[in-house]
A and B are shown apart, each in its own frame.
Chain A
Amino acid sequence: MKVVILGYGFIGTIHLNAYQKMNDVEVAGIYSTTKTGSIEGIKVYNDLDECLELADVVDICLPTFMHREIFEKAVAKGKHIFLEKPIAHTEEDCRFMLELEQRSNVKIMVGQVLRYFPEYRQLKNKIDPGKPASSLLSRRSQLPVSGKNWSLDRKNSGGVILDLLLHDIDFACWAFGPVTRIFAQSDTEHYYALLTLRHENGSITRLEGSWRYDGGFVQEAEIAQENELFTYNSQEVHPLQVHRNVLTSKDSTEIPAVLLRDAPWYLELREFIDAIRYDQPVPITLQDAYESTRVALLALKSADEKRPISLVKELNA
């Protein structure tokens, strides 16, 4: 199967690494607006149409605000699509893409990768789905500095809520079900946010997202149910830590250290490729991802308007 990777930033690099472990996948090209030549022997294209021609499957790793346009082209050309989260940065783009999907015949999967982190899977499997939960989810890192800094611009990325906290919002929707009420606060730059979600089953989830944390990347979850408490903090479970006495430069975009044979990014892409190969439903559909993306977009609205947003009212309006 021939895959092209569209966009070779932070996440494109990780995806290439994952595909290189698959015997049945050939990365036929990489589309980049900033790079030229070749990467690990794979030709880099600056012309999107030329690159798309090579592919059975496209993997969209471009900045969020470009998703809609690229997605439309890929659907028009009948390519299977792996779409990096978030789907898009506006409700309008999300709906446009959902409509395109309705009329298409291709496999489309969204990379809500936290669902492939075994610690989050454990939490989801251990909680009692019949009982409401009270949760604290936190995700913190230093300020990510990407090539064109698009992710720091709230207009293009949705800021810390859509770009970073969406991981945990998606987990909350996945683990505790649909959300009925949202309240969000953020700083003016949208580098830091606090959210409370009320779910249909009575669960309450509170989230903290920060690009203002220089204490090392952390993902954290604390879930309480009747007579039960689950806790997880990525900084307390490092299985290996290297301490060097030389100065090293840190990557600006921090990700959790994963010491597993199959990294979550490999698992999600492997399942997507298998869904195409065996013509099975994809594990995370555009509609699935839209549910949590919409919550994140309404959280942005709540933060702007400084009021709680009821999804029931929003739907009837």
Chain B
Amino acid sequence: MKISILSTAHVHFEAFASAVKQCADTELAGIYDDDAHRGKKKAADLQTVFFENIHDALSVCEAVVVCSENAKHEELVLASIEANKHVLCEKPLAISTVSAERMAKKAVEQDVVLATAFPLRFNTPAMELKQVIDQKLIGEVLAFHGKNPGQCPKGWFIDKKLSGGGALMDHIVHLADLMRWLTGAEVSKVYAEADSFLVPCITIDDVGHVQLEFDNGIIADIDPSWSRPEGFPTWGGIDLRATGTQGAVDLRAYAQKVAQYNNTKTLHHDYGDFEYLYMMNAFVLAIGNQQTELANAWDGVAATKIVEAAYQSAKEHEVVTIA
């Protein structure tokens, strides 16, 4: 299956490109980017074609990966769906619920796959955690404690017009989606505190503390903060503790690392499975109408609702109910 990547703006571009190249069923058809300078360089690095016009990129593929700035997802996704292409869109699906819903509805109308990139669903330790929960090894889940801290990605991520928001927009959705996937429950209430005081010279939110209640009574929290300084040996991490009636389970989704020290710094090298590859496999299967764990557009909508509620709660200092 030929896949074009639309935009190279997001830091996950390299992961998507390697997944498309590594996956046995996919082939990189080319790259489109509205920043031609950036796009040409990335295309040259990957030895693939660069398209200055999106329609040229769409005409050579069956499916696309959208990897742009958050605020440009809708435009690129809708153009792809109109061209009858299946879409795997970087998270968050959209910067507002109305935008996410427009995209999801359009995909239904055109009968194409619109998937949201939540690679944690394909993270091997997280999949094992799902087994633990499904087999009720810790009894009934009562609570989740989640941490998804990271380094500030800078660039367009700190420009609200392009990102839609800071750390809360960037990092709530991974764990929110993971909790929904693990339990099949929906978030009904959101409380959040947010601020901007960790990264110098930026005004966008870089601190967030979010508490959630699910419709089945599970309580949860998430730390999406950009709290890792530049000297931190890795981009961040995703940790989740599930506490149940008969025990607790600790997930450190990216703990599989070896450390390297030299005279000036410490580096961590991942050795865990490459979940983007398994997500890409699932995307191909989903296009072939097979059942997979891939997050669909409505999962993307649900995660966007949680982010929107978190921003509202942080502003109003009240618990926000999700209808």
B contact residues around A136 at 8 Å (CB): 147, 223
Q: What is the interface of chain B mostly: helix, strand, loop, or mixed?
A: strand
- Mark interface residues in B192-231 (1 if CB within 8 Å of A CB, else 0): 0101011110000001010101000001110101011110
In the complex, B250 has a CB within 8 A of chain A: yes
A134-B198, A192-B243, A202-B197 known; A210 vs B209 contact (CB < 8 Å): no
Tell me if B272 is interfacial: C-beta within 8 Å of chain A. Answer: no
Q: Tell which of A183, A186, A226, A308 touches B198, judged by Cβ atoms closer than 8 Å.
A: A226
CB B304 to nearest CB in A, in angstroms, measures: 22
Which of B193, B198, B200, B248 is within 8 Å of A213, CB to CB? Answer: B248
**Chain B residues, Cβ within 8 Å of A204:** 193, 195, 207, 209
User: For window 122-143 of chain A, which residues contact chain B by CB distance below 8 Å?
Assistant: 131-132, 134, 136, 138, 140
B65 at the interface (CB under 8 A from A): no
Assembled-state Cα–Cα distance A129/B154 (Å): 27
Q: Which residues of chain A (179-201) have a CB below 8 Å from chain B?
A: 181, 183, 185-187, 192, 194, 196, 198
Verify B317–A310 contact, CB threshold 8 A.
yes
Which residues of the other chain, B, contact A229 by a CB distance below 8 angstroms? 227-229, 232
- Residues A194 and B219 in contact, CB atoms below 8 Å apart: yes
Quick check: A186 and B228 within 8 Å, CB to CB?
Answer: no
| Cα separation A257 to B200 with both chains bound (whole Å) | 38
Q: Does A215 contact B (CB under 8 A)?
A: yes
In the assembled complex, the Cα of A219 lies from the Cα of B228 at a distance in Å of 21
Contact between A187 and B219 (Cβ–Cβ < 8 Å)? yes
Contact of B191 among A132, A192, A196 (CB under 8 A): A196
Bound Cα distance from A210 to B219, whole angstroms: 13
Q: Does B142 contact A (CB under 8 A)?
A: yes
Q: Known: A215-B248, A308-B191. Contact between A227 and B197, CB under 8 A?
A: no
For the complex, give the distance between the alpha carbons of A87 and B213 in Å.
Answer: 31
**Assembly CA distance A180 to B147 (angstroms):** 24
Whether B56 is near chain A, meaning CB under 8 Å from some CB there, is no
- B319 in contact (CB, < 8 A): yes
A199-214 to B contact mask, C-beta < 8 Å, 1/0: 0001010101010111
